[in-house]
């Protein structure tokens, strides 16, 4: 994935963390979300902290 596409996707998530879809999880795990952009060929897994900070996992 080109670095610019990744940066643009992270910027979108920082503005609106609810863009991604929640992934199934259990109570003992951090609730991950997945953001995909097929046009830019980007897929990000992330979670949002209590202070609405976006933490990118993969």
The CA dihedral of 40, 52, 23, 39, to the nearest 10 degrees, is -10
pTM (whole model) above 0.85: no
Confidence label for 2 from pLDDT (cuts 50, 70 and 90): low
pLDDT by residue (tens digit) across 20-57?
A: 899 987 777 788 899 988 888 888 888 888 887 888 77
Work out whether strand 54-56 and strand 33-37 pair parallel, antiparallel, or are unpaired. unpaired
Higher pLDDT, 40 or 58: 40
Element (H, E) at 42: strand 42-48
How confident is the model at residue 21, as a pLDDT? Answer: 92
């Amino acid at each position: 994935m080109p670095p610019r596409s990744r940066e643009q996707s992270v910027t979108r998530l920082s503005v609106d963390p609810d863009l991604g879809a929640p992934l199934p999880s259990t109570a003992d795990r951090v609730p991950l979300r997945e953001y995909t952009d097929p046009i830019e060929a980007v897929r990000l897994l992330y979670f949002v902290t209590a202070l609405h900070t976006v933490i990118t996992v993969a």
